[in-house]
Amino acid sequence: MSEVWIDYAGLARRAGEFQFRRANFAELEAGLALGEKLTGQTMATPASILWIESLTGMAGWVTGDPVDGVFITVPLSADGAAAVRDGSFAPAWPALAHICCQGDPCGGVYIGVYAGTTKESRRRVMMSAGVTRVEFFAPVPCFARGATQDGKRSMASLGFRAIDGGLPDLWGQDPLPAAQEQAA
């Protein structure tokens, strides 16, 4: 199974180019409330995302002031990527061994939430998700849940496909081919 060393500074810089920033607690509260409203799904608590964010250094991203877009992405350890596939990964309360703590090798990425309230914020969410996926996490698989039909359509457009046997409504994207990685 492939792993990648995360370039945290580069990731923050690239996300910043799409006007995303790492969220503080109040921004996570606002972002997750926004995500719940748009998807109709119950989200992880802001405290839980803050815990993940504090350990991974890259989980909670928001855009806008007030927040009008949110992007929650959890870097996984190799064990975590396997846990997503076998259904033992708990997105709202992951085991410590399943997340990629800052400075550890990353074995996959789990996208928890991506949502925006305006056309512009949705565009920024999709662009930052796509670009960071290709530029920083190409060698590892990427996972997400298809919470809504819109979400499933957008994932399909990014090359995700439904995965059976893991978490409910699990979608995934295999590591990207080197050519695609280099072309990005």
43-82 positions binding other proteins, by CB under 8 A:
45, 47-48, 50-51, 54-55
Stretch that binds other proteins, among 34-42, 68-76, 91-99, 158-166 (CB under 8 A): 91-99
Length of the chain: 184
Beta carbon nearer to other proteins, 31 or 172? 31
144 near other proteins, judged by CB under 8 A: no
Q: How far is the CB of 102 from other proteins (least distance, A)?
A: 11
Q: How far is the CB of 85 from other proteins (least distance, A)?
A: 21
93 near other proteins, judged by CB under 8 A: yes
- CA–centroid distance for 47 within its chain: 17
Instruction: Name the residue among 183, 76, 80 with its Cα closest to residue 137.
Output: 76
95 near other proteins, judged by CB under 8 A: yes
Contact 75, 106 (CB under 8 A): yes
| Interface with other proteins: number of residues (CB under 8 A) | 14
96 near other proteins, judged by CB under 8 A: yes
Going along the chain, which residue ranges are E strands? 20-22, 60-63, 69-76, 108-116, 142-145, 161-162, 170-173
8-47 positions binding other proteins, by CB under 8 A:
24-26, 45, 47
d(CA 104, CA 116): 30
Q: Among 1, 86, 97, 156, which residue interacts with other proteins (rule: CB under 8 A)? A: 97
Beta carbon nearer to other proteins, 55 or 167? 55
Q: Any idea of the CA torsion for 34, 39, 41, 44, to the nearest 10 degrees?
A: -40
Contact 112, 65 (CB under 8 A): no
| Residue ranges binding other proteins (CB under 8 A) | 24-26, 45, 47-48, 50-51, 54-55, 93, 95-97
